[in-house]
Structures are given as structure tokens and as C-alpha cells.
Amino acid sequence: MAAKRKSSRSKKDSPGAQELLVLELQEIHNAENQLSRMVPRFAKVVESEALRKMTNERLAEGERIIQDIEKVFDELDESPGRKKNIAAEGLLTDAREHVQEIEPGPALDAVLIGAIQKTEHYCIAAWGTARALAEATGQKTAAKAMQRALDEGKEFDERLTELAEKEVTPALLSGSEGQVQDEDEEEQGGQNGSGRSRKRGGSEGRIS
């Protein structure tokens, strides 16, 4: 029997709870920095004034989260690091592609609400994990900051859903119905026009 090959990839020692907390906060810090660069782009292209206001609110919330995390890093004598949050990057890349592909209007607003909520749901999961680790390690500043982020994040998510249901989706459906009606009228007009042409043609043939 051939001997099993040893993996060339070395494993790191198992990190402790505080080290895991630092890693989680570093990922959150990077995610919020990515959001801070992307959210202003969303605000420029959305049609709904309410949605624009909410994107700006999320930008301010992200700035507070970054400040809170940097305060925790100071207390722990740690740094944010330079590792990019791949999960957040993927979600935001997807949103950016939608902005490039869809014309401004209710459709883009609806898609962006979904994209923002996907990112927010990821953040809520990350904040919850960080809070649990902070509580387990007795890091009260971090626990308090993550709890506040969780509370505001869940409320923000609910408000986005309400905005979608009451304003954006109805506007999208109204626009779609209008487009279908216009297409039906054009089709009927074309058919009537063709019928008239055929009738005129037949009369002219009989007259001649």
C-alpha cells in the first residue's frame, strides 16, 4: 500500500477566542470600508428619494462602526490589518454589475434594495458572531458596539423591506403594466392598419 502523501499546505495553530474576535473585527472593518466606497455610488443612481436617504444613513452607520472597531483595536493593541473581506467584495461586485447593466428607475431601485439587504444580512451575521466572541472574552466595548450595530442593522433591514413593499415594487409593477399596455396598443394599431390597407387595396382592384 502506497504511503499517504503529506499535504504541502501547513495548518496554523488553533486560534483562541480573542484571536478569533480580532479576525472577525478585521473582516467587519474591511467590509465597512468597502461599503463606504460603494454606497455613495448607489445614492447617485437610485430614483427613490427615500432609498437615497436610507443609503446615506447606512453610510453614516458604517462610519460609526469603523470608529467603534478601531477603538476596540486600540484597547486590544491590535490593528485592522490589510486582509480583504472576500464575501463582502463578492456581494458588492454583484451590486456594481447591476448598476452598470440596468437603467435608473424602479427596476434598478428594486435590485439595489435586494443587493443592499443581502450585504446587510451578511453584516448582521458577522456582528452577531463578533458580539458573542466579545461577550465570551469579556470585551465589553466590542460587545456593546456589535450589539448597537445589530440593533440598527435589523431595523434598517426592516425599513428596506417596507420601502420595497410600499413604494418601489408598486412603481415597478405600474411601469411594467404601462409597458405591456403600450405594446398591446401598438400591436392592435398595426393589425388595424394592415386591415385597412388590405381593404383599400381590394376596393382599388375592383374599381380598376
Whether the CB-CB separation of 51 and 105 falls below 8 Å is answered with no
Task: Enter the C-alpha cell of residue 49.
Answer: 428619494
* 97 inside domain: yes
Residues 130-167 pLDDT 10s: 999 999 999 999 999 999 999 999 999 999 999 999 99
Q: Which domain holds residue 80?
A: 17-179
Read off the pLDDT of each residue in 116-129 and give the average, rounded to a whole number.
97
Instruction: Tell me if 163 is assigned to some domain.
Output: yes
Position 200 scores a pLDDT of 41
Cα dihedral: 163, 165, 166, 169 (round 10): 100
Does residue 170 lie in a domain region? yes
Please give the Cα distance from 174 to 191 (Å, whole number).
26
Residue type, 182: D
> Is residue 152 in a domain?
yes
What mean pLDDT is reported for the chain? 85
Three-state helix/strand/coil letters over 141-152: HHHHHHHHHHHH
How many other CB atoms are there within 10 angstroms of residue 150's CB atom? 18
The domain that holds 58 is classified in CATH as 1.20.1260.10
9 within some domain: no
Report pLDDT for 11: 64
Q: How far is the C-alpha of 85 from the C-alpha of 122, rounded, in Å?
A: 11
Mean per-residue pLDDT, 34-54: 95
Total-model pTM: 0.78
Confidence grade of residue 207 (pLDDT, cut at 50, 70, 90): very low
- Specify the pLDDT at position 141: 96
Is the residue at 11 inside a domain? no
What share of the chain has pLDDT > 70, as a percent?
78
For range 189-203, the mean pLDDT:
46
What is the pLDDT confidence band of residue 206, given thresholds at 50, 70 and 90? very low
Residue 188 lies in a domain: no
> How many domains does one find in the chain?
1
pLDDT of residue 33: 97
Q: Check if the beta carbon of residue 110 is closer than 8 Å to that of residue 173.
A: no
pLDDT digits (tens, 9 = 90+) for 9-29: 556 678 899 999 999 999 999
| Residue 204 scores a pLDDT above 70 | no
